Homo-oligomer: A and B are copies of this chain.
Amino acid sequence: MYSIVVENIYMLVIVTLISVLQNAFFALKVEKECRSVNPNPAAFERVSCANRNCMDSYPTFLAVMWCAGLCLSQAPASFAGVIYLVVRQKYFVGYMGQTSQSTPGYLFGKRVLFFLFLMCIVGIFNYLLVRFCSSDYKEYVETITSAASALLLLP
Mark A residues whose CB is within 8 Å of B: 1-10, 13-14, 16-17, 19-20, 23-24, 27-28, 30-31, 34-35, 51-52, 55-60, 62-64, 67, 70-71, 105-107, 113, 117, 120-121, 123-124, 127-128, 130-131, 138
Contacts and interface: CB of A to CB of B under 8 A. Distances in A.
Copy count, this protein chain: 3
Nearest to A5: B70
Nearest to A56: B55
A50 to B, nearest CB: 12
B62 A56 contact: no
A70 to B, nearest CB: 6
Among all A-B residue pairs, the 10 with the closest Cβ atoms = A6-B127, A59-B59, A31-B106, A55-B56, A13-B67, A30-B106, A23-B60, A31-B107, A16-B63, A58-B59
A146 to B, nearest CB: 16
Contact of A17 (B13, B55, B120): B120
